[in-house]
Amino acid sequence: MCSGRVDMAHVLRAFSNGMDGVLIGGCRLGDCNYITHGNYYAQNMVLLLRKIMEHVGLNPERLKIEFMSGSESNVFVDAVNNFVRSIKEIGPFGQNEGIEKDELKARVAEVIKLIPYIKVEKNKKLRTPLTDPGDRESYFTRDEIDDLLDNVVSYYIDPEKCQACMTCARRCPAEAIISAKNQIHVIDQEKCIKCGTCFEVCPPRFKAVTKIAGGPVPAPLPLDERTIVRAGKG
Last residue of a domain, one of 133, 150, 167: 150
Claim to verify: residue 146 and residue 170 sit in the same structural domain: no
- For residue 88, is it within any domain? yes
Torsion, CA 23, CA 27, CA 33, CA 37, rounded to 10: 70
pLDDT in tens, the chain (234 residues): 788 899 999 999 999 998 999 999 998 888 777 777 889 999 999 999 999 999 999 999 999 999 998 888 999 999 999 999 999 999 999 998 999 999 999 999 999 989 989 998 999 999 999 989 899 989 999 999 999 999 999 999 999 999 999 999 999 999 999 999 999 999 999 999 898 999 999 999 999 999 998 789 999 999 999 999 876 654
Cα–Cα dist 156/140, whole Å: 29
Last residue of a domain, one of 150, 172, 192: 150
Claim to verify: residue 107 and residue 84 sit in the same structural domain: yes
> How many Å is the maximal CA-CA distance in the chain?
78
Claim to verify: residue 159 and residue 103 sit in the same structural domain: no
pLDDT value at position 100?
A: 93
Phi, psi of 23, rounded to the nearest 5 degrees:
-115, 125
pLDDT value at position 212?
A: 93
- For residue 230, is it within any domain? no
Claim to verify: residue 98 and residue 202 sit in the same structural domain: no
pLDDT value at position 232?
A: 62
CATH of the domain at 212: 3.30.70.20
Alpha helices in 17-114 (DSSP H): 38-56, 73-90, 101-113
Claim to verify: residue 216 and residue 115 sit in the same structural domain: no
Q: What is the DSSP string of 151-164?
A: S-EEEEE-TTT---
- For residue 234, is it within any domain? no
- For residue 232, is it within any domain? no
Last residue of a domain, one of 121, 150, 179: 150
Which range marks the domain in which residue 211 is found?
Answer: 153-225
In the 3-class helix/strand/coil scheme, how is 23-48 assigned residue by residue? EEEECCCCCCCCCCCHHHHHHHHHHH
Claim to verify: residue 39 and residue 81 sit in the same structural domain: yes
What's the structural domain count of the chain? 2
- For residue 233, is it within any domain? no
What is the dihedral sign for C-alpha 89, 93, 95, 98? Answer: positive
Claim to verify: residue 102 and residue 128 sit in the same structural domain: yes
